[in-house]
Structure 1
Amino acid sequence: MTITVFLLDDHEIVRRGLRDILATEDDIDVIGEAGTVDEGARGIVGMRPDVALVDVVLPDGNGVKVCEALRTYAPDVRTLVLTSFSDDDTLFAAIDAGAAGVVLKRLGGDELIDSVRCVHEGTSVIDPRLTGRMFNRLRADESSDEERLAEPNDREHQLLELVAEGLTNRQIGARLYLSEKTVKNYVSAMLQKLNMRTRNEAAVFATRLAARRQTETTTQRSG
């Protein structure tokens, strides 16, 4: 199956480079490109690619706003944010806006191709050069995490684990023998309880909880 891609970057030379890299793969097809927020948002919503590569800094706005718009008008499009900046605010703003992944522009061609395939398959992608700072910031909120899910039920734990795997509502429904609509309602209620807006936030949270439980189990065994 061919993965369709839309490129949104204000530098033509960057778009050409991205297109040339992706063109080396038979299963990836760049179907459109743009250099502004307005052109990009209209193009992506109209063409409905599988994956949108979106730059953060654009002449008439920023890529985070595009992510927010796509979450509303084209929720089926997976957004991979490209950024030259490795600051925490950019990373968390993109995740909060619904981006499926955030990578630095200095990544290699193979890394770019792998990232496109991963987000298309439903897996969240964070550039390895960003994950250290991301987890440091998340650890600072550890106490608030405990309060968020002070009394989790079995269903919430199960949903968190499946969301962390990058599964869609339909795939989760198949696992749990539930309708897609029922899963959507469960996930929405869970996100509201956790005071989160996106599945990516829940996925990161679930990963942290799993790591913490594993650490606690190891400590108990060694004790």
Structure 2
Amino acid sequence: MPDVRVLVLDDHEVVRRGICDILDRADGVEVVAEAATVAQAIRRVDATRPDVVLSDLRLPDGTGLDVIAHVRATHPDTHIVVLTSYDDDDAKAAARTAGADAFVAKTAGSAEVLKAVRDAASGREHGQHIDVQEDAAIAALTPTERKIVTAVGDGMSNKEIADQLGIAEKTVKNHVTSILAKMGLQRRTQVVAWATQRRAQSFRR
């Protein structure tokens, strides 16, 4: 079976080199190009036609969305894995809409990065943590409400959530009421159960 050919896009050289080292050491994976900007990535994607582009979203001359749009328009067989932070819900939603295949956290270990790349290349869905953005049942939630869903799933009280987000406890309570209505639930414990089930599904993948 041929190697999975990967282009790594990140403007931070230390991060980019670290990812390339992880991939180059792995069996069945080959880094065919690196890029630090949108312009470099587009040129090198066209030149190398990788199987997977592993891309940051924040870049000095644009965003990873520009690269995703180019890849989708010109190389539809190339898969895209986006490097993301846990608080990038809006950016992740935009990347998913643009055509990203999967996401991997910047804090992920080497095994997780490799799994994300291999899963994307093989067409398998990749999941690494509870990601409230990706569930159609809660698509109507605001970014703040998504953070609260995750916090509730972690067993945090309204006061703890308020302290974490820097908002009033009453505001958290109002958000929880809104979340229950939007998700079609009646009790806070149902949100906890939903989050627990979602996390378990993610770990089984």
Q: Tell me the TM-score range normalised by the shorter chain.
A: 0.5 to 0.7
Residue 31 of structure 1 aligns with which residue? 32
For the 8 Å contact 1:7–1:32, the answer to whether it is kept is yes
Residue 74 of structure 2 aligns with which residue? 73
CA–CA separation in structure 1 for the residues paired with 2:10 and 2:72: 19
CA–CA separation in structure 2 for the residues paired with 1:59 and 1:141: 30
Identical aligned pairs, as a percentage? 39
What displacement does 1:133 show? 4.3
CA–CA separation in structure 2 for the residues paired with 1:100 and 1:115: 10
CA–CA separation in structure 2 for the residues paired with 1:44 and 1:81: 15
**3-state SS of 1:81 partner:** strand
Residue 115 of structure 1 aligns with which residue? 116
What displacement does 1:25 show? 1.1
Moved more, 102-111 or 82-91: 82-91
What displacement does 1:31 show? 0.8
Matched, 1:134 2:134: yes
CA–CA separation in structure 1 for the residues paired with 2:125 and 2:69: 17
Residue 17 of structure 1 aligns with which residue? 18
Q: Deviations over 1:101-158 (max 9, x none)?
A: 11110011000111111000011324314x23433xx22358xxxxxxxxxxxxxxxx
CA–CA separation in structure 2 for the residues paired with 1:118 and 1:74: 18
Residue 63 of structure 2 aligns with which residue? 62
CA–CA separation in structure 2 for the residues paired with 1:127 and 1:65: 24
The runs of 5 or more residues in structure 2 that have no matched partner are: 141-205
C-alpha change, 1:64 and 1:85, in structure 2 (3 Å) is farther
* AA matched with 2:122: E
* AA matched with 2:28: D
* AA matched with 2:78: V
CA–CA separation in structure 2 for the residues paired with 1:141 and 1:101: 18
* AA matched with 1:134: E
Give aligned pairs, total.
139
What displacement does 1:92 show? 1.1
TM-score, length of structure 2 as denominator length = 0.64
For the 8 Å contact 2:93–2:133, the answer to whether it is kept is no
CA–CA separation in structure 1 for the residues paired with 2:88 and 2:113: 20
CA–CA separation in structure 2 for the residues paired with 1:38 and 1:56: 14
For the 8 Å contact 2:104–2:112, the answer to whether it is kept is no
CA–CA separation in structure 2 for the residues paired with 1:127 and 1:96: 19
CA–CA separation in structure 1 for the residues paired with 2:103 and 2:127: 5
Residue 92 of structure 1 aligns with which residue? 93
**3-state SS of 1:128 partner:** coil
* AA matched with 1:140: I
What displacement does 1:85 show? 4.9
C-alpha change, 1:141 and 1:31, in structure 2 (3 Å) is closer
CA–CA separation in structure 1 for the residues paired with 2:139 and 2:23: 38
Residue 184 of structure 2 aligns with which residue? none
TM-score, length of structure 1 as denominator length = 0.59
